[in-house]
Amino acid sequence: MTTQPANPFEMVAYVLSRQIEDHMIVYVGTGLPMVAAILARKTHAPHITLVYESGGQDPIAGDMPWSVGDPFTWRKSPIIQEMAYSFAQCYNGYVDIAFLGFAQIDMYGNINTHMIGDDFLNPKARLTGSGGNNDLSSLTEKMVLVGLQTPEKFVKKVDFITSVGHLTGGNSRKEAGLLGQGPVAVVTNAGVYDFEPATKRMRVKSLHPGVSFDLAQLATGFELLRPEGEIPVTETPSADVLEILRKEVDPRGVFISFPPK
Amino acid sequence: MYNYNGEALKNLRIDDTSILDRLVDFESARKAHLTKDHSKRDKRMSLTEAIAEFVKDDDICTDSGFAYVRTPHQAYFEIMRQGKKNLQFIGSPNTNHSYMINFGVCRYSHNSYVGAEMRGTDRNYSRNLKEGKVKILSEWSHGSMAQGFKAAQLGMPGVFSKQLLGSDIVRYNPYVKVMQNPGRKDHDPVVFIPALYPDVTIIHVHAADRYGNARVYGPTVNDAALAAAARKVIITAEEIVPEIDIRYNNKGVIIPFMYVDAVVELPFGAVPGNMPGLYYWSRQWWEKFLRYGTLSEENLRSFMEYWIFDCKDQFDFVNKLGGAKWIAAARRLTKTVEYDNEDAGYDYSYEEYRPGHDTGIYY
C-alpha cells in the first residue's frame, strides 16, 4: 500500500513540527500549530511541554482541541495560569518558541490581524484584533509565523502592525524595546523563509517540491531575498510520519483535510 | 486630569475625552468600594433583579471568562432583554460584545479580540464598525489588557510592560504611553499601562455562598482581577453552597465576599459556552452564530430573536438546545475531554453547522 503524498496543510504541519526541538516549552494556538506540536510530540520531540493562552499548560494527551480554551488544553494540567501570568512566562524566559498566524505579513515579518484597508474607522474588513498575537511576538524568544502565501497576504506594507517582527529591519526590533529574537521562520504552503541577518528581510530558506523561486516570488507582494547557491527543497514527511499525522494526530481531518472541511 | 495619548485620540477621532475617564478613574472606584455596604450579608437575588439594580445604561461592563469558557452568557442575555443602552465593553477576549451592538446595548468597544478562532470571522462586528454603530475607544492585546486589570488588583496606578512596543496598537490606545524605563540609564522603552477599573463585572462561578465568596474550577483568566477592580460585582453561580463548604473546600476560591454586590443562583448560566467539569460548549450554536448569524443584520436579528428574546431564562435556552438529552451529552463530553469520564472508545466527532447543513442538533 502506498501512502498519498502530503497535501499542503499536512506539509505545513510537518514543517512547523520540525521547528520544535525536544524538551522545548511551546506556546500554541489553535489550528495547524496545534497539529504541529502534537505531531512533534508523537515523533521527534516527545518531551515538549505545551502552553496555551487560556492558561492551560502541560495537559495530558487527548483529542484535537476545538479552541485554545478547550478543556483538552488543560486536561489534567498540574496548574492553570491566569492570563497575565501565562504571558509573563514568555517575558520571564520560560517559553522557547511560539507560532503565530496572520492576515497580512510584510518583508520584516510584521503581522496584521486587525483590519484590511487604509481607514481604521472604516476598514474594508475588520478582523479579530490582537488577542495574544502581540503579546507572544513582543515577548517570546523565537517566533515562527505560519500562513498561506498569496500577494494579498504577503504585502509591501501591512495595513496595521498588530505584532512587530523585525519592524524596519536591522536592529530596529531591539531599539523598539522588544524581547527575543523575533521571527526566525515563516512557513507557508510554498516554502520556508528565514530573515537575512543584517537587513532582517525575508529570505527563501527552502521551497516545497515543485515550487520555483519565480513561483514563490509571484505569490509575494514584495521582493524575496534568495539564499546563496542552490535553493534547497523542503524535506517532505516520510510515510511513517504521515501515518501518525493522519491516524493519531488529526484522525478526523479537522485541520489537515485538503481542500479544507 | 488624565494624560491621554494625543495621537491615539486623533486616530480614533475622540474629541470629548470624558468618555474615557471612568475606566482609569481610580479615585471613583476606590470611593465606590469604600461606600458600598461592607457588611457580610445575604446578597442573593434573582438575575432580573441583579441586572436591573447593578447594570446601568452607559456603564463600562466586562466580558469575563474566556469568550465562551465560564462566561456569564445568560446574564448578558438578560442585559439585552432588559434593553440596557450605550454600554462600553472591555475584556480579553471581547467576543461577546459584538452581538449586543445591534440592539444598542453596546455602543463602545475597548477591543482586544472579537471572534471565535477557527470557527469563522465575526462579520457582524466589522459591519457595525463600518456603519458607526460601535465606536472603538481603545485597542489592546490580551496580555496588555490583562496587565491593566492585574494592576488594579495589585493596588497600583499601573504597570510597565514590554508588550505593544513598536506596534500600531499604541497608536490606537489613548490610555497607554511609551516611555523610557525610569530604572535604567540605557535606552529601554517600556509601555505604561494604567490600572483599569470597569463599572460592573459579572462572573459566572461553580459555587458561591450567599455572601459572595466564590469558587471556580478550570481557567480563571482575568476574573480574580476583574472582581477586585470593578465598582460593582455580580456573581452568577451554578450552585449556592453553605459558607462552611467554601471554608472547607477553599481551593479555587478566587473572589472574596466583600467585592460582591449580588449573588444569583443560576444553573446553566454559562450556556451556550463551556462550563469546566459541568457542560461542554454547544459547538454548533457558535458555528451557526458565526457562519449564519453574523452574515447580515437580518440573520443576526432572527438568530438572537430565537435564542435570546424568545427565551425568558436559561431553561428555555437549554430546552431549545435539546433539553435533558443536551445536558447529558454536554456533561459526558466535557467530563470525557477532561478525562473525568472514560475516554476509551468515546467518539469525539460531531456534525459541524455549515450553511446548508443544519442538523438542528446542538451537541
> Where exactly are the structural domains of chain A?
8-242
**Percentage of residues of chain B with pLDDT beyond 70:** 99
pLDDT at A31: 83
Give the span between the Cα atoms of B246 and B355, in whole angstroms: 46
Contacts B169 to A, Cβ<8 Å: 130, 134, 162
Q: What is the largest CA-CA distance in chain A?
A: 56
**More confident site: A255 or B195:** B195
Which residues numbered 140-199 in A keep a CB inside 8 Å of some CB on B?
160-164, 167, 172-173, 175-179
**Percentage of residues of chain B with pLDDT beyond 90:** 94
pLDDT at A254: 86
For B297-316, what is the mean pLDDT? 98
Contacts B69 to A, Cβ<8 Å: 54, 67, 69
With beta carbons less than 8 A apart as the criterion, state whether A109 and A202 touch. yes
Answer whether A163 sits within 8 Å of B130, measured CB to CB.
Answer: no
Q: Which of B229, B252, B233 is nearest to B241 (CA)?
A: B252
Q: Whole-model pTM above 0.95?
A: yes
Give the other-Cβ count within 10 Å of B193's Cβ.
Answer: 26
Nearest by CB to A66, from B113, B141, B283: name it: B283
Contacts A68 to B, Cβ<8 Å: 117
Stretches in chain A below the pLDDT threshold 70: 1, 261
Task: Locate A74 and state its grid cell.
Answer: 488543560
| Confidence check on the interface: ipTM exceeds 0.90, yes or no | yes
**More confident site: B359 or A215:** A215
Contacts B206 to A, Cβ<8 Å: none
**Active-site residue, A53 included:** yes
User: What residues have CB less than 8 Å from A114, skipping those under 6 apart?
Assistant: A126, A127, A128, A129, A130, A159, A160, A162, B139, B168
Give the span between the Cα atoms of B359 and B27, in whole angstroms: 53
Please give the mean pLDDT across all residues of chain B: 96
Contacts B15 to A, Cβ<8 Å: none
Whole-angstrom distance between the N-terminal and C-terminal Cα of chain A? Answer: 25
How far is the alpha carbon of B75 from chain A, nearest alpha carbon, in Å? 20
Return the number of CB contacts < 8 Å for A and B. Answer: 189
Structure confidence at residue B221 as a pLDDT band (50, 70, 90): very high
pLDDT at B362: 87
pLDDT at A1: 59
- Residue B146, chain A, CB below 8 Å: the answer is yes
Q: What is the pLDDT of residues B102-158, one digit of tens each?
A: 999 999 999 999 987 767 779 999 999 999 999 999 999 999 999 999 999 999 999
Nearest by CB to A69, from B68, B119, B225: name it: B68
pLDDT at B115: 86
Give the span between the Cα atoms of B57 and B34, in whole angstroms: 23
Which entry of A10, A21, A53, A243 is annotated as an active-site residue? A53
How far is the alpha carbon of B87 from chain A, nearest alpha carbon, in Å? 19
**Homologous superfamily assigned to A8-242:** Glutaconate Coenzyme A-transferase (3.40.1080.10)
pLDDT at A2: 76
- Check whether B273 has a pLDDT greater than 80: yes
Answer whether B163 sits within 8 Å of A179, measured CB to CB.
Answer: no
DSSP A238: P
